[in-house]
Amino acid sequence: MARLLIGRTANGFIVYIQVMKRSSFLSLALSAVSGLALPFSSYARHRSGKRMEKGFFVAAGKDRFDKSLALFDGDTFYCKVSTKDTDGDVYMFESTRQKKGGPPLHYHYDQDEWWYVLQGEFLIKVGDQLYNAKAGDSAFGPRRVPHTFSKISEGEAKMLIFFTPAGKMEESFIARSEGLTNNMTNEQRKEFSKAHGVEIVGPPLTLLKQ
Q: Indicate if the alpha-carbon torsion angle 158, 164, 169, 174 is positive or negative.
A: positive
**Angle CA(94)–CA(164)–CA(179) in degrees, nearest 5?**
55
Per residue of the chain (210 residues), give pLDDT as tens: 445 444 544 545 444 444 444 444 444 444 443 443 333 344 444 566 777 789 999 999 999 999 999 998 889 999 999 999 999 999 999 999 999 999 999 999 999 999 999 999 999 999 999 999 999 999 999 999 999 999 999 999 999 999 999 999 999 999 999 999 999 999 999 999 999 999 999 999 988 777
Q: What is the pTM of this model?
A: 0.76
Q: Which fold has domain 69-202?
A: Jelly Rolls (2.60.120)
Residue 47 has what pLDDT?
A: 60
Residue 208 has what pLDDT?
A: 79
Helical axes 186-195 vs 169-177, angle rounded to 10°:
140
Contacts of 73 (CB under 8 A, 6+ apart): 99, 101, 209, 210
Contacts of 164 (CB under 8 A, 6+ apart): 89, 90, 91, 111, 112, 114
Residue 48 has what pLDDT?
A: 63
